[in-house]
Chains A and B, each alone.
Chain A
Amino acid sequence: EIVLTQSPGILSLSPGERATLSCRASQRIANNFLAWFQQRPGQAPRLLIFGPSRRATGTPDRFTGSGSGTDFTLTISRLEPEDSAVYYCQQYGDSPWTFGQGTKLEIK
């Protein structure tokens, strides 16, 4: 199965700064079927980006997905307090679909 490794584990930034989250796959992801989810405490995950750069409905344009093959990035520009959450990447190109372990983003 494809293992996804996210980095960093924890990211602490101030409002207005830019966040760069990485997701590296153990092998090439078919069709670049890579997605990013945001999960706030006590809530279900929310799809932000998929395919790997298409914004889901309602995703602000501050969120940008990029990458291909084995290396993918989620960039959040102009951080806001409500961006504080855990972010997961998921590949859905090859079964079993797998998730990364998550990056916790803290807004100071």
Chain B
Amino acid sequence: QIHLVQSGAEVKRPGASVKVSCNTSGYTFTNYGVTWVRQAPGQGLEWMGWISGYNGDTKYAQKFQGRVTLTRDTSTSTMYMDLRNLRSDDTAMYYCARGADNGDYVGEYWGQGTLVTVSS
């Protein structure tokens, strides 16, 4: 079975950084990319970026360029999302999602989400 298990909730001060992990299992890690999506309280879904499981290539939403870094660790089949210089409007649920079984990049298998709260 395919599983994506994310790290636990975080509370951060404005200006700090957060690193969310997404530990994957049940498939060949390097065969699929992972998308990161966030959702502010009561709001819609927002695409942050994508990372290839094969070679670590990345795509980022312009909004987050320079503040977010997606990385991977093939030895532990784990993806990471690092968001810097946090602001109060970064308070959101952050999700990782693996690409579809047929190779499409769309997120078919999702983690449970990680709540990041930014507050002074």
Asked whether A45 lies within 8 Å of B100 as measured between CB atoms, the reply is: no
CB interface residues, B 25-50, toward A, < 8 Å: 35, 37, 44-47, 50
Range of interface residues on B (Cβ < 8 Å): 20 to 34
A18 an interface residue at 8 Å Cβ cutoff?
A: no
A12 an interface residue at 8 Å Cβ cutoff?
A: no
Q: Which residue of B lies closest to A1 (CB)?
A: B62
Asked whether B110 lies within 8 Å of A45 as measured between CB atoms, the reply is: yes
B78 an interface residue at 8 Å Cβ cutoff?
A: no
Q: With both chains docked as a complex, state the minimum distance between the C-beta of B54 and any C-beta of chain A, in angstroms.
A: 17
Interface SS, A side: loop
Q: With both chains docked as a complex, state the minimum distance between the C-beta of B89 and any C-beta of chain A, in angstroms.
A: 17
CB interface residues, A 76-108, toward B, < 8 Å: 88, 90, 92, 95-102
B96-120 vs A, CB cutoff 8 Å, 1 = contact: the mask equals: 0100111011111011110000000
| A47-B95 in contact given A57-B101, A96-B62 (Cβ < 8 Å) | no
Query: Count the A residues whose beta carbon is within 8 Å of the partner chain — how many?
Result: 25
Chain A residues near B100 (CB-CB < 8 A)? 47, 50, 56
Asked whether B106 lies within 8 Å of A90 as measured between CB atoms, the reply is: yes
Asked whether A99 lies within 8 Å of B44 as measured between CB atoms, the reply is: yes
| A44-B111 in contact given A1-B62, A56-B100, A99-B47 (Cβ < 8 Å) | yes
Chain B residues near A102 (CB-CB < 8 A)? 44-45
> Can you list 13 A-B pairs, Cβ within 8 angstroms, ordered by A?
A1-B62, A33-B105, A44-B112, A45-B45, A45-B110, A47-B108, A90-B45, A96-B60, A96-B62, A97-B105, A99-B45, A99-B46, A102-B45
Closest 9 CB pairs of A and B: A44-B110, A96-B61, A99-B45, A35-B106, A97-B47, A50-B106, A95-B59, A47-B108, A92-B106
